[in-house]
Amino acid sequence: MKRQPRASLLVIEDDPAILNGLLDVLVFNGFDAEGIEDGLAGLEKALIGSHDLIILDVMLPGVDGFTICRKVREKKPGLGILMLTAKGAEGDIVTGFRAGADDYVSKPFSLRELMVRVEAVLRRTGKGVCDESILIAGIRFDGRVLMASMDGNAVELTRREMDIVSYLYRHRDRIVSKKELLTEVWQYADRDIETRTVDIHILKLRKKISRFIEEKSLIVTVRGEGYRMENLE
C-alpha cells in the first residue's frame, strides 16, 4: 500500500524552548520536522536539504534570518519560507517579504495561528497537506481549515485527527489495524513499536465527534483487530 506523503519542515530558531516547542507541535500535527539553532548551519541545511518549508527566525547566531531567506530564495525559488518576527516589528516584516519570505508570524504567537499559516504556505507552494473535505453522517471534516462542523456547530481538529478520519474513510470497507495506522498515518518505520498513541488520538477524536452525534459511534473499535468507519448515512 502506497504511503501518503508528508511535508518536511526545517525550523531555524536559536531559542531552545521555542525550537523544541515548534518541533513538538509540528510532529504532533503530522509533519516531518527537524530543527537547527545556528544560522550558518541552518543555511547550509536549507540549501542541501529537501524540505518543503522553512520556519525561520530573524535574529540568529552566525547568519541572520534575512540573509538566509535571500540565499535560499536564490537557490530554491519554490521553497516555502515562513519568518518569525518580533511583535510589532513592522520593519522586520517588510524586510522579510523583500528578502523573499512567503509569510510571517509575530512572536509571541498562538500555535493555532502558526499551523494555519504553515498550511497556507504549503498550499500555495503545492506541497503535501490534505485539503480534502469529507462529509460523513452529516459532519463536514474540512482539511483546509482543520475543522469538523455540523448544523452551524464546529470544533477544531489537529492535522493528525484529520489524517485519521481521511484514512479510515478511504478504507471504510474494511477494518484498519493499529499497526496500519502507525505505518500509513504516523509513518513509523517499525510498525511493531509498543505505543498507545493511536488509542489516545482515537479517544480524543471520538470526544470531538460526540458533540455532533452523541448516540452514535462513527469510529468503531473491533476488539483485537483495529478500527472501522461506520456507515451512518
Reference 127, options 28, 54, 20; nearest CA is: 54
The fraction of the chain above a pLDDT of 90, given in percent, is 39
Query: ∠30-35-38 over CA atoms, to 5°?
Result: 165
Domains in the chain, CATH or no CATH each: 8-124 (3.40.50.2300), 133-229 (1.10.10.10)
pTM exceeds 0.85 for this model: no
Fill in the DSSP letter of residue 108. S
Give the cell for residue 129.
497537506
Fill in the DSSP letter of residue 16. H
User: What does the alpha-carbon distance between residue 46 and residue 40 come to, in Å, rounded to a whole number?
Assistant: 10
User: What does the alpha-carbon distance between residue 63 and residue 42 come to, in Å, rounded to a whole number?
Assistant: 9
Q: pLDDT-based confidence at 232, cuts 50/70/90?
A: low
Judged against a pLDDT cut of 90, whether residue 17 lies above it is answered with yes
- pLDDT for res 88: 63
Q: pLDDT-based confidence at 5, cuts 50/70/90?
A: very low
User: What does the alpha-carbon distance between residue 16 and residue 199 come to, in Å, rounded to a whole number?
Assistant: 30
HSE-CB of 65 using CA atoms within 13 angstroms: 28
Judged against a pLDDT cut of 90, whether residue 50 lies above it is answered with no
For helices 159-170 and 197-209, give the axis angle rounded to 10 degrees: 90
Judged against a pLDDT cut of 80, whether residue 80 lies above it is answered with yes
- pLDDT for res 141: 92
Q: Is 162 helix (H, G, I), strand (E, B) or coil?
A: helix
Q: How far apart are the first and last CA of the chain?
A: 28
Q: Could you write out the DSSP letters of every residue in 181-202?
A: HHHHTS--S-TT----HHHHHH
